[in-house]
A and B are shown apart, each in its own frame.
Chain A
């Protein structure tokens, strides 16, 4: 039976008031969502199933939408290369000539560095494995700066992995789904990255604010920074490896030190995800894990305050000299009633102290 033909068919409610109630209900739901959000914790648990599903669905859709733009870019590059091949060739020759000088210096420095390392016995970090990915969607607003990459769980990407392009650090992974992962850019308002000034080793925290140039907060040291100084990751806290290029320092219009990101000097269409979680993974965990624990020799477990209670007994006439003697000399009532005497026989020789140190006798040694 249709609703309008029923007994409630003539029921009229003022639509304006009902709409107002609906609006209030929707606002309450939105506030509840906002209060329950834990995005700023940057944990995998906070990246719920809904976000993972949306990312998984968005990846192919955004990939198809982005494809024409990518093809257009490739075509424009091809045309430009064709028409400007001569000038490009001259520029590359000049650059090659300059780079040869740098190469000689580099080889000399590598040799010198190796000798210093061997002299100091310095153990450097092993190379970090990487995963290449393509960016299929990005958000550039003031309240969220993220990118969606087309590599996910199946490639070993986990939350916290640093992300770079060919120029420098881009951000880090904040959500992983099958086939896709979400990159939080350095410019996002929730992004905090420990960095240092390469020239002075002064530490700072790179803080995003939704704009193109993140701020340098908590700068320490006297005269720690100059315009143009190179900013790299400090590795403090184990969030990102040390020494990744970030950008160049500039003084902002608001008088604060900011960073022009190296990664922004080119399009961030292809990225590298460093499979780096924290410093713990760089150590050989198997070697660190002890196979056999040494025996813990503290006190006689038979007489420990944690062991079974035993009645007060008079001290023996002569203190025992062997470890096994007190255990065998203990009264039967104090022994465990379980039929497992073997562990007592295999225990390490812990009874080096006389049996008079039982809890029943300790009060006698308290100060009077």
Chain B
């Protein structure tokens, strides 16, 4: 019964975490091309969406929490902001994963964009409460757009591990 074999956490959790951290550090480089800076997408949204779709897990929420704490510390933001925002999106996707299973790629992309919007909205509200000021909606929209464009990576991660454990299909 190979289908019931649990996934190796190092492969489906550890490796994506490592890639997310590397990509975040890479895009934090102070590079300007033709007067424009690099975008700053939330790479951690890719595993936050994909891990919830692949299967429920005990380790995944804590992995997301660690990723969020890394983002806050590396970017100099309020500690816990991205951990909480990512977990909100993860929880919603996990609750609706039965609706997502078997959906076409464009529909999954729409769901992923919705999860990004949810996470950004949570970040917006938490920042408002933490700093007692309203962040720029335009800046939030640009970051949402840059993050929503990362769906192909999330789809690849889902494709790679969705069938690895048939108990959760």
Contacts and interface: CB of A to CB of B under 8 A. Distances in A.
B77 A34 contact: no
Interface in B20-70: 25-26, 28-32, 37-38, 40, 42, 56-62, 64-65, 68-69
Contact of B75 (A29, A31, A146, A174): A146
A238 B43 CA distance: 40
B32 A267 contact: yes
Given A39-B79, A40-B130, A40-B131, A30 B68 contact: yes
Contacts of B56: 15-16, 19-20
Interface in B86-108: 87-88, 90-91, 94
Interface stretch (B9-17, B110-118, B136-144, B149-157): B136-144
Q: Counting chain B CB atoms within 10 Å of each CB, which of A23, A26, A73, A143 scores highest?
A: A143
Interface residues of B, number: 54
28 contacts: A15-B56, A19-B57, A23-B91, A27-B91, A30-B83, A30-B87, A31-B84, A34-B84, A37-B79, A39-B78, A40-B131, A50-B73, A62-B28, A69-B31, A73-B32, A136-B30, A137-B28, A142-B124, A143-B77, A143-B124, A146-B77, A175-B76, A189-B131, A190-B131, A209-B139, A210-B136, A211-B138, A212-B139
Contacts of A357: none
Interface string B114-131: 000000000110110011
A103 to B, nearest CB: 30
A220 interface: no
A43 to B, nearest CB: 14
Given A18-B58, A140-B37, A33 B136 contact: no
Contacts of B30: 66, 69, 135-138, 147, 267-269
A141 interface: yes
Contacts of B143: 141-142
B134 interface: yes
Contact of A33 (B28, B80, B131): B80
Interface of A: 15-16, 18-20, 22-23, 25-27, 29-37, 39-40, 50-51, 54, 58, 61-62, 65-66, 69, 73, 135-144, 146-148, 174-175, 182, 184, 189-190, 207, 209-212, 267-269
Given A58-B74, A268-B30, A210 B79 contact: no
A23 B131 contact: no
Contacts of B59: 22
B126 A34 contact: yes
A256 to B, nearest CB: 11
A257 to B, nearest CB: 15
A189 B91 contact: no
Given A138-B28, A139-B76, A143-B123, A26 B131 contact: no
Given A33-B80, A73-B32, A143-B135, 4 more contacts: A23-B94, A65-B29, A69-B31, A146-B76
B127 A61 contact: no
Contacts of B62: 22, 26
Contact of A39 (B58, B77, B90, B133): B77
A209 B58 contact: no
B81 interface: yes
A12 B66 CA distance: 28
Contacts of A61: 25
